[in-house]
Chains A and B, each alone.
Chain A
Amino acid sequence: MQTVETITPLPQSRLSGYVQKHSGQNPLRCYQCGKCNAGCPVAYAMDLGPRQVMRAVQLGLKDHVLSSNTIWVCLQCQVCSARCPMEIDIARVMESLRLLAILEGYPVPEKDIELFHRIFLEVVRRHGRLHELELGAMYNVRSGHLTANAGLLPQLLSRGKLSVLPTTIRDARAVREIFARAEAESRKAPAAES
């Protein structure tokens, strides 16, 4: 009798192992149905769609994934996670990959998005709360997009929708310490072997 060759499961790549450990999601469960891509509102703007990211993670194509713009463009809207028939939290996988890319110093293809996050956190670190005018102004200056959203300013200001001065909370120092300690602790986190 002829023996039937069974399909052996894909071995866990190092990248896939890291993702599983970090996110609690097993990328090997993905069977490439593509529901994530179909529902993703920003798949059109991504180098790799979510389905391709999952496949690349399975195959351990670390540089391919970590240098893609996908992990930065992902909005964390979680439609992919909600619709995955294998119940993989794909948005969580994206998050793990983005944090790994930051940890390992991969060049960021979406510099403006990264800059926005950085400035947002700088403002919160300073005041304990966000100050939207400061965020917008600092973003425009440092990104070089000097006029971004500036056209909206008169309308926002005339309606009293922008506070000119920031509100700094009383123990803003405690918040600054939270930032410092969170950064120090995060640096201790183990990186994935390449």
Chain B
Amino acid sequence: MKQAESTGTLAGQKAFSYFPGCSLHSTAREYDVSARLSCEALGIELKELEGWACCGASSAHSTNELLAVSLPARDLKRAGEVGLPLVAACAMCFSRLKIASHELQNNDMRKLVQTVIGQEIQKTARVVHLLEVVDSRLDAIPVKKPLTELKVACYYGCLLVRPREKVAIDDAENPQLMDRLVRKLGAEPVAWAFKTECCGAGLPLARPDIVLKLCHRILAQARQAGADCIAVACPECHSNLDTHQEEIRARYGDDARVPVVYFTQLLGLALGLSVQQLHLDKHLTDPVPVLSSKGLA
């Protein structure tokens, strides 16, 4: 089985197959919208992978490992046929696609997966995360409106930085990719210790107590570090950190209010796109007041 484009540099790559993932078509629409607009402004062409299916997320991975490889394998095969690298925006999709590509290198696993998906896999696509693509052309970003005086806590979560061998795009304890980007955009990345602490992942329905506790710690740490907002690269992290802040305040009694935005929204803002275009007015914890106070909205 061939893995397409496995060695080419990302910087020279103009077009990508795009894997938005399920959340970006609903709760995380602002991530999808801001990713598309920012990429367009940077001359990166995103072609949505036709007929993509759900990667199975943590639920497939938690209950049936063959399903957890087979669902992304179908997408990887389709992307392999298109022949462009596959860029994922969601950290969960990215992680599942990366791990599946890794598992498919094993002959026994590949045979089994081919039986399950009912198709032969001859070629899969190279999987990358959107943050890597943007980082690959960092110097060429035409910043029109520098995000001066905006202090940003860059939050990477788990799935972009662990496990090291199969997935990680950066260091597991103190990653710098998003910090570099934020600095390039004219903002100030704050130093803080919770960059890669888990937000509670897929548990907000089944164990909301856990999600509230973990998010409370992350929000409090970001606030203590002096952050005006938290930047994320994952719809699940965003949803956990953004949507439950009222409940967190009620439960823990401290004012942990910190807006949570996608890195693509900050990128778009610096590229001269508007708050409305980037759906920055759609978050539950409104970032517009803090952006206005810095003259950015």
Contact = CB atoms under 8 A, between A and B. Distances in A.
A77 B25 contact: no
B104 to A, nearest CB: 14
A30 interface: no
A177 B59 CA distance: 18
A75 B71 contact: no
A33 interface: no
B282 A160 contact: yes
B106 to A, nearest CB: 11
A178 interface: yes
B26 A161 contact: yes
B282 A161 contact: yes
Contact of A124 (B54, B115, B198, B203): B54
Contacts of B173: 82
B221 to A, nearest CB: 13
A78 interface: yes
Contacts of B201: 75-77
Given A77-B158, A129-B53, A175-B53, A115 B206 contact: yes
Contact of A155 (B25, B208, B284): B284
A150 to B, nearest CB: 11
A95 B11 CA distance: 36
A19 to B, nearest CB: 14
Contacts of A133: 26
- Say which size band chain A's interface belongs to: 35 or more
Contacts of A170: 51
Interface residues of B, number: 55
A120 interface: yes
B70 to A, nearest CB: 5
B67 A182 contact: yes
Contact of A116 (B65, B66, B200, B205): B205
Overall SS of chain A's interface: helix
Interface string A155-184: 110011111000101110011011101110
A5 interface: no
A167 B25 contact: yes
Contact of A183 (B64, B205, B214): B64
Given A129-B54, A152-B243, A95 B62 contact: yes
Interface string B115-131: 11110000000000000
A135 B289 CA distance: 33
A179 B67 contact: yes
Contacts of A145: 205
Given A76-B58, A99-B63, A178 B117 contact: yes
Given A73-B210, A161-B27, A185-B115, A78 B163 contact: yes
B162 A156 contact: no
B111 to A, nearest CB: 11
A137 B173 CA distance: 37
Contacts of A139: 205-206
A117 B63 contact: yes
Interface of A: 41-42, 45, 73, 75-79, 81-82, 89, 91, 95, 98-99, 102, 110, 112-113, 115-118, 120-121, 124, 128-133, 136, 139, 143, 145, 148-149, 152, 155-156, 159-163, 167, 169-171, 174-175, 177-179, 181-183, 185-186
Given A131-B26, A171-B51, 4 more contacts: A76-B201, A110-B206, A112-B207, A115-B206
